[in-house]
Structure 1
Amino acid sequence: MDSCPLHNGHQHAAYPPKVSHIEIVGYVDDTNQIGYSRDIGRSFTLNGRQFYIFGDTFCKDSNGNFVGLVNNTVALVPERRNPCLSKYLDFNDDDTVKCFVPLMMKEKDWQKSTGGRITLWGFGGVVELEDGTGRIWFQKGTISSGGDNEYCGVGLAIIRYNHTCEGLITQRLEGTLDNGLFFGAREPKVGSFSTLIEGPFAYLWGEYNGHIVLARTRQEESSIRDLYGFWNGTDYVTDFTGAAPISAFDEIPQGQIFRSDLFGKQKRYVFVGVSKWCDSLIRVGAAERLEGPWEVWPVAMTQGINVTNGFRYCIYPHLFASHTSNAELLVTWSEQWPGGVIAGKVNFLTEEQACGEECELID
């Protein structure tokens, strides 16, 4: 038959996406060789350096003894070519890792007096602004001594790079609400799903009334709540009650939206994440515009290493260690306790390979 027009040398992934195979790379370990149990494992760049955000981190001393649970931590990636190696830079005197987004004194006092704990989780990641500082919109929650969970709202913090120790300095901002947060428990979880810088704006996805909605703020105005706009299907408006649901993400609690040439220029915004159904499947989608419409498909099953009988969650892509020109993404996922964060190279069927399959069917 005639030559296929897609056989043009490009290695864009075929669309809709289809995974050809996954190569398990291993756990994201620490340079101190202490086997931390931890989750999330979302990456970000600041000042040209690469970092991982982790959630609950079960800390151990050099002898492997448990010394405490820290609700959020951050680690440097010393070498981009080795994404499975991280390095904690800040420790407390008791060998626990210091919090990335720190607790306030009144929160520490609440923990001591009640026996409960505060969680500050950064599922939405960190974005780097034009001035070189970062921003993180984090979810605050409380867990009582009896195990009851309560979601409190979204807070905001500024992140600065510390040239002296290659670490980060995080400053929580006082929000406009009575509890010091920027958005309350019954308001949109702005930026807690995914975040992305595009031009002068920070785009922020978060859950509201059971749906993912989109907000945006000018970079320099991110600390002014009243200046946030919410996509209502045709425009950005200040009234979040009119925010339009992004239905493709209705069943997805965690994931990341990013710019990429993975599927070519027509689908330059890409999503990688996981569903709320505990099925351990990687879900991938794409759109021509940030606002959508989005399409999302389950494409591959993740694997456990030490914890093989539980589901995997917190599925995130990592562009710093990916080769999208070869239709390859590095993706991580979290095992249930006592597991950790696992990295795998996800190889997509390319346009040429897909065309070859179609040509075989036609022949």
Structure 2
Amino acid sequence: MSDDKTSRTANILDVARLAGVSHQTVSRVLNDLPNVRPVTRARVEQAIAQLRYSPSPAARALVTRRTRTIGLVTPGASDFGPTSTAMHFNVAARAARYSVETVSSLDADAAGVRSIVEGLLRQRVDAIVLVVVDADVLEAVRGLDLSIPVVAAASVARRSPLIVSIDQYRGARAAVRHLAELGHERILHLAGPQRAPDAIERVRGWRDELAARRLEVVEPLHGDWSAASGYRLGADLDVAPDSAVFVGNDHMAIGLMSALRERGLRVPEEVSVVGFDDVPEAGYLYPALTTVRQDFAALGELIMQKVLVAVEEPESATADTPLPTHLIVRQSTRPVTR
């Protein structure tokens, strides 16, 4: 690659990789902020010179008017995934010397979301981050004509430079694959809310893995992510010996296992159960819960990375592959014995 080509394509992430630092550190050097060690600053400046990197004039103009504040819109519920995402995003934002103005949204309608966004705009935030638990919220915000970037944490099939996610679809397929490879031929699904993007993608993965293996599809039952809804659905769930249940999240799985125990059905001897999230309690249940782990720390960091690029180098923004999940096998699943 020629020097001219490098100078045209280099962005803040290229500088960070070459200097062996985070993009937040590069941003601090570019904006002449404190708390950067001299040796680190020199390494970043050397990478800037080597790549002939220079922020675009438009981005530099924006820097002078920035408040270094990000508006964070979170759902009103305290579910583990959205709460963890918001927490780790706040950590990443502080590391980049940004403050975060957090607003919880109880309304999923366009008017409610618009009101929250307009309130954040009056505070002159540099960007808005949206933690999406309802597909209607994402569509409502997409329909607004805003002068600042909006980065969404949302599990959707389409890719966008301003959408980040964890791969719910492949995580669900891994969970169902694990149960199928244990010999289960009837794999039920207790799903999350019907409009929740995470639930939609997990249902899609469950269906596709069953279809690929030519296994029976029994329409999923939908809960609300709570242990109470898992218990309620589990009380009447049509499970036969050697059935398995892929549950939309760990809290619903906890409720399900309690209901199965009250019905005299043993986990995993008679029913295998897999959850999703790997909440801190999952490894301490009896039996310990097999589940799909999500890296919320990495998600929070990726959201902040997208914000920095959108604010400082919008022309270099690219769509990313969703972050991977990891199947954690514990004692709530076991091979079928014929």
TM-score, with length taken from structure 1: 0.25
Task: Report the structure, 1 or 2, having the larger helix content.
Answer: 2
Task: Report the structure, 1 or 2, having the larger strand content.
Answer: 1
TM-score, with length taken from structure 2: 0.26
Higher Rg: 2
